[in-house]
Amino acid sequence: MKKVITYGTFDLLHYGHINLLRRAKELGDYLIVALSTDEFNWNEKGKKSYFSYEQRKKLLEAIRYVDLVIPEENWDQKIADVREFRVDTFVMGDDWEGKFDFLKAYCEVVYLPRTPEISTTQIKRELKDR
């Protein structure tokens, strides 16, 4: 069984997220999503999610492409996750290109093109302008 992992906040879930998850799942048999916790988002990324970790987790678990959701609690857990879950492929959006190449010593690293016309940042900006 080929395992794939991706990481993210997945707040204000939209079709760009679904596209990423679908394409990630196409690279293997089992998709793990490491979901940023509220504490990690606030303390390390400096952003507050609209939906709580538990709400975002439930949304992701309802998506057919997602097999397992685990917490992302810090930047440095990726190697441990790849080892623990015996991951074959690490996937991120291409806006992170090159930032996770250090994982190539442990698994395949793939950067997928983002859906260009949609982002959570864009949705928040448009809602704020209304």
Active site residues: 45, 47
Task: Output the DSSP codes for 18-56.
Answer: HHHHHHHHTTSSEEEEEEEPHHHIIIII----SS-HHHH
- CA atoms of 54 and 69, how far apart (whole Å): 11
68 strand-pairing partners: 32
